[in-house]
A and B are shown apart, each in its own frame.
Chain A
Amino acid sequence: MRTKPLSIVLRHGALVIVCFIMLVPFYWVIKTSITNENIYAYPPRLLPEAPHLFNYVDVWYFIPFARYLLNSVIVSAIAVAGNVVFNAMAAYALTKHFVGKQSVMLLFLSCMLVPFQATIIPAYLITAKLGLLNTYLGLALPLMSTIVCIFIYKAAFEAVPQSLIDAARVDGLKERQVILRILMPLSKPAVATNVILAFIWSWNAFLWPLIITREPIMQTLPLGLARFLSYLEDTTGALYAFAVMVLAPSIFVFLMAQKEFIRGLTSGATKG
């Protein structure tokens, strides 16, 4: 059945309008970051007046931005590695049949209902017992495995034909090798989704790093943003420049892997 040109135009027009509405806040943040405009000015200007990039220079030098960036990169890298490995192991176990599997699934789903704020004190005490306060590993620890990502892996692993896994076993592959050589390469969208979600969550984490860091030198970018706000509360342009610099890496990672990300989120949603 051929789609009528008019319906295509209408559909695309609607999509363009929705895209515009969703991108306006981003545009406004970027526009404010390259000017020193008051965001409450009325009437608001659509185009930036006398744009410049010096707010970004201020952000780079007024606080140890490079150090915060390094901390965030290290913590995110640990969290991403943890998610890719541990979630795959957990998901593979959940694709098997064992006694109490339904209970485990129910427990996982129940745990998703509990907000992190409610478990932050036990998490802090455990991290303290492990001697990981004020360390990169401690910063990444609660983010190294997430239940949502386990289920994304599980859906991807279940989509792999059982005959393929059986054939791998006949060829002499052990369980670990089945995951590494068969399931993971066939679940690239799920891996990409894990990478992106883990990166974004660890990159934007605020409360946990705030609690377990003891020294400013161990702080991550969101904490730096709060600190910057306390220093330069009247400089909207610089503040927005900081926000752009904090957001840029996660947007960059998303844009690089958006195809796999979308495929990963939708895999298992449809049959056939």
Chain B
Amino acid sequence: MMLPAWIRNRWVIVPAILAISIVLWNSYVTAHNGGLVEGSVIDAAGRPVPGATVTLFERSFVAYTSKDTTKADDAGLFRFTNNQNHALQLEAASPILGKSDRHSIRLWFRAQNFRLVEPLRLAGR
């Protein structure tokens, strides 16, 4: 079946493709913007560190500022549930094992659900 000529016009096709792309992208964003950030904390030997304090830093225009903290559970897992930013840093700390390096996270949109693949490693600093 041949489409009408006005539909086969580039002034219709290109904006329509753009509009569909925008709708699809926004649907994806809506389905994945729960503000969830999770990961795990390990020590230098790779063992989980229960009770480690994990700090979430949010990026403002010029610097990262501390936004929230949480504790790792018995398996060394941590979770933030209300992240609203797109540029973050995570840092773990323990009174005995010291601090980890800050891990930078760049998200594609605000509050994107994110699971940290590489654990935060307490280096004993």
Contacts and interface: CB of A to CB of B under 8 A. Distances in A.
A62 B106 contact: no
Could you say which interface size class chain B belongs to? 10 to 19
Nearest to B60: A62
A126 interface: no
A256 B86 contact: no
Nearest to A231: B61
Nearest to B87: A58
B109 interface: yes
A interface: dominant SS: helix
B106 to A, nearest CB: 4
Contacts of B108: 57
Contacts of B14: 256
A57 B86 contact: yes
Interface residues of A, number: 9
Contacts of B110: 61
A54 B85 CA distance: 13
A52 B11 contact: no
Contact of A52 (B62, B106, B109): B106
A62 B63 CA distance: 13
Interface string B93-121: 00000000000001111100000000000
Q: Which of B61, B62, B87 has the most CB of A within 10 A?
A: B61
A57 B109 contact: yes
Interface string A51-69: 0101001100110000000
A251 interface: no
A232 interface: yes
Nearest to B109: A57
A256 B61 contact: no
B70 to A, nearest CB: 24
B61 A62 contact: yes
A52 B109 CA distance: 14
B10 interface: yes
B61 A232 contact: yes
A240 B86 CA distance: 19
Contacts of A232: 61-62
B86 A61 contact: yes
Contacts of A256: 10-11, 14
Given A54-B106, A232-B62, 4 more contacts: A54-B87, A57-B86, A57-B109, A231-B61
20 contacts: A52-B106, A54-B87, A54-B106, A57-B86, A57-B87, A57-B106, A57-B107, A57-B108, A57-B109, A58-B86, A58-B87, A61-B86, A61-B110, A62-B61, A231-B61, A232-B61, A232-B62, A256-B10, A256-B11, A256-B14
Interface of A: 52, 54, 57-58, 61-62, 231-232, 256
The 8 A-B pairs at the shortest CB distance, nearest first, are namely A54-B106, A231-B61, A61-B86, A57-B86, A61-B110, A57-B108, A62-B61, A232-B61
